[in-house]
Amino acid sequence: MLEGEFLSEVVDSPNLRIIIAGQQVPQRNIEWGSLSEYRCLGAINNVEEWWEFAQNRQFPFPKDAIKAIILAFQGQPNDIVKSLTAIAKDWES
């Protein structure tokens, strides 16, 4: 388990950096908690970045449609990805 054996083993590795991301992350503990940083990832409101994301997944959206979705979901990545995926199935170019 990540928060158990792995993080306890690598705590003394000064040149190693571990990034853990997700909806749920391990609770800090006495072994490595003082060495950790909590970073909250915020909204992504950049239309160009979302348009590139859509192009890479071959979603057929114009930038204006992507901009509207970004605004509707206030840049929240999880909601935007779900919406783009759902809408792409029925989109007519």
What pLDDT score was predicted for residue 63? 95
d(CA 67, CA 79): 14
Task: Please tell me the pTM assigned to this model.
Answer: 0.64
What is the tens place of the pLDDT at every residue in 56-76? Answer: 999 988 999 999 999 999 999
1 pLDDT tier (thresholds 50, 70, 90): low
d(CA 42, CA 91): 28
Q: Which two tokens stand for residue 19?
A: 């990034």
2 pLDDT tier (thresholds 50, 70, 90): low
What pLDDT score was predicted for residue 13? 85
What is the tens place of the pLDDT at every residue in 25-67? Answer: 777 777 777 888 888 878 999 999 999 999 999 998 899 999 9
> Which of the residue ranges 12-16, 57-61, 65-69, 82-86 would you say has the lowest mean pLDDT?
12-16
d(CA 36, CA 19): 10
Domain ranges of the chain: 2-35, 47-90
